[in-house]
Structure 1
């Protein structure tokens, strides 16, 4: 069967890999000159199943107001970009800000994320990909005691799902991240998730794409997707600026741009582009650098270690498809890396990046089939596309192959919005 994958980010390339492995002829289409040039390019580098939590939860609206009032705010709304679609998406998200929805959504997210971590383990056994991967866990750091006091609900969920975790005092945090000894007076404790990993998503996707090519996957790059064509309950082709592509099946893995393409065949999905920022800095002093990923819970900024670089990612901005990089948006991520790991890296040499995270109102990705028998979705992963990438791709590939997925598909498809 000839299957066309729309999108050359980590989700699209991973989907192509599993489909090609199962014997299909696969074509990947992307508008960029190479794979992983958009959201997959500069993300925080975290593969963090244990950190999978919905944005929408009890008390979040009030917290968001408080965040926006901080000098170094982790959350912002660009009022110039406010429109009807933005308001509609925000309304849907607010409807999920209750305890019952939070618990349901978190369980769904963890189901995909934990499975994806297992897929990473299996892939490493099969392929020797160089993506600066480390398997040393994530450390969530708290600056205030009230943050630790409020952590119990999340710990209960981790216990229920059997996810390994460790509540640590600052001496315990320093034992895992020695460079924190220089700033231990700024924090009061942490939560370590030892099953989490790190790595450069761009490098991973590029390396996996090379492996895809050895299986015969064809990459049509510098090719802009215009619209899908449907007939008799099926998608028959996709129009691009380079011509029409006919295939037996199609997978939409276009991230934040998925709604644009799907609307051409009457499918409406609530995926919104949440803007994020990152810095990539060369390490100057190894003794002061992190060993894995540290999440500053106060500022919602992640500091991740690659081989000889540090990636600092954070800030959530509601700004539609605005890709400008105003220097003022660097403030919180600049502050955190210098406050947490002073002297570790040269901020003046940092690469400043922005990308759009495809977020659903319930933070759960949209995976699986549609009203068209040969159109499948792999999108809406928000800030966890890298974390959920392999699990989501294998899940979708299994559905296309009429194979029972390894995890329960309940609540993962587009049907949850129309049930």
Structure 2
């Protein structure tokens, strides 16, 4: 079967690989000159099944108001008279209940845990160099109040059988020795040893090459103009150069997926949430973290690659605006300088922003649609790197007709019509 994949971020690349692995003729189309040049390019670098949880949770609306009032706020909202945004926000607030949180959390953990298993299998079978590390994530707390609040988080981790370690200050220093000189700034931590790190952009490049060896074709610098379809199926994909015919189509366009789907009368509640990162060359290895350190106060992650630090965080609701805001850079620079002041020179950093495709319930949209040959793999929010392999393998099995290895309940777009 010929499958046309729209989008070549980490989601599109992994989808192409698993489809090609199952014997399909795969064609990937993207407007960029290469893979993973948008949202996947410079994310925080975390592969974190343990942190797979929806933003929509009880108490979040009040927390959001407090965050926006603090210095170096992790959340910024630019008020907009945008009906799509207002509808998405209303849906998100409707999910901020204990019942909805439990449902959404269960779906996300199921997919994220499976995705980690798929990544492990890939790593065992392929030579993939993406500067990966299997050293876990350390969540740092600066106040006693934060430390007391983790009892709720631990109950959730235990409920979903996620391994964890509750650490005092000495325990944090043992895991991340570079924090030694700054230990007076923290009161403890929570470590998730099952988490990993790695450069999502490098991963996408090397996996694309593996997909090519399986026969997949990648078409870059291609502008998608639309989709021709009947009321029951897609006929072809329209490009500036002409049309591409296929037996099956997968939309993996991240935050840009809803705009294309409107051609087909499909309403996908995905909204762009802008995230920022700094990439800093490491100058003093001993003063840099070993893996990922998450600062709970500022919601900023500092991740170690081979010779670089990736500092990622903040959530900005500003539509499709990709401009780089100096205030966001200052927040990222403050956190990394405060925790690891001698690791590298922040003035030498590369500043970047990308649009995370966020659903109102936090769960990505993976699966079939009302059109018989159209599938979706999008809406992963901040967890595209974490969930990419599992989402792609699940979708490839569905397209091929194989029995999925996990329950796909609640992952398809049909959940929004209920």
The TM tier, using the shorter chain, reads over 0.9
Root-mean-square deviation over aligned CA pairs: 0.8
User: 1:255 corresponds to which residue?
Assistant: 254
Does the residue aligned with 2:36 lie in a helix, a strand or coil?
A: coil
User: 1:126 corresponds to which residue?
Assistant: 125
Q: 2-side partners of 1:144 and 1:207: how far apart?
A: 41
User: 1:365 corresponds to which residue?
Assistant: 364
Number of residue-to-residue matches in the alignment: 418
Q: 2-side partners of 1:149 and 1:172: how far apart?
A: 17
User: 2:59 corresponds to which residue?
Assistant: 59
Question: Does structure 1 residue 347 correspond to structure 2 residue 346?
Answer: yes
User: 2:327 corresponds to which residue?
Assistant: 328
User: 2:410 corresponds to which residue?
Assistant: 411
Q: Is the 8 A contact 1:82 1:320 kept in 2?
A: no
User: 1:193 corresponds to which residue?
Assistant: 192
Q: 2-side partners of 1:193 and 1:19: how far apart?
A: 31
CA offsets, 1:120-178, max 9 Å, x none? 10000111111000000001111111112121222112112111111111111111111
Shift of 1:231: 2.1
Q: 2-side partners of 1:82 and 1:66: how far apart?
A: 23
Q: 1-side partners of 2:86 and 2:22: how far apart?
A: 42
Question: Does structure 1 residue 19 correspond to structure 2 residue 28?
Answer: no
Q: Which runs of 5+ in 2 are unaligned?
A: none
User: 1:288 corresponds to which residue?
Assistant: 287
Does the residue aligned with 1:115 lie in a helix, a strand or coil?
A: helix
User: 1:50 corresponds to which residue?
Assistant: 50
Q: 2-side partners of 1:387 and 1:340: how far apart?
A: 25
CA offsets, 1:287-343, max 9 Å, x none? 110000011011000000000000000010000000100212212111100001111
Q: Which runs of 5+ in 1 are unaligned?
A: none
Give TM-score, length-normalised by structure 2.
0.99
Does the residue aligned with 1:150 lie in a helix, a strand or coil?
A: helix
User: 1:35 corresponds to which residue?
Assistant: 35
Q: Is the 8 A contact 1:11 1:389 kept in 2?
A: yes
- Identify the range of structure 1 (238-247 vs 300-309) with the bigger mean alpha-carbon deviation: 238-247
User: 2:69 corresponds to which residue?
Assistant: 69
Find runs of 4+ consecutive structure 1 residues off by over 3 angstroms: none
User: 1:9 corresponds to which residue?
Assistant: 9
Question: Does structure 1 residue 226 correspond to structure 2 residue 222?
Answer: no
Q: Is the 8 A contact 2:227 2:263 kept in 1?
A: yes
User: 1:108 corresponds to which residue?
Assistant: 107
Shift of 1:242: 2.1
Shift of 1:82: 4.3
Q: 1-side partners of 2:405 and 2:169: how far apart?
A: 39
Does the residue aligned with 1:38 lie in a helix, a strand or coil?
A: coil
Q: 1-side partners of 2:137 and 2:241: how far apart?
A: 44
Q: 1-side partners of 2:144 and 2:364: how far apart?
A: 33
Does the residue aligned with 1:151 lie in a helix, a strand or coil?
A: helix
CA offsets, 1:92-139, max 9 Å, x none? 101111111111111111111010000110000111111000000001
Q: Is the 8 A contact 2:72 2:328 kept in 1?
A: no
Q: 2-side partners of 1:340 and 1:215: how far apart?
A: 44
Give TM-score, length-normalised by structure 1.
0.99
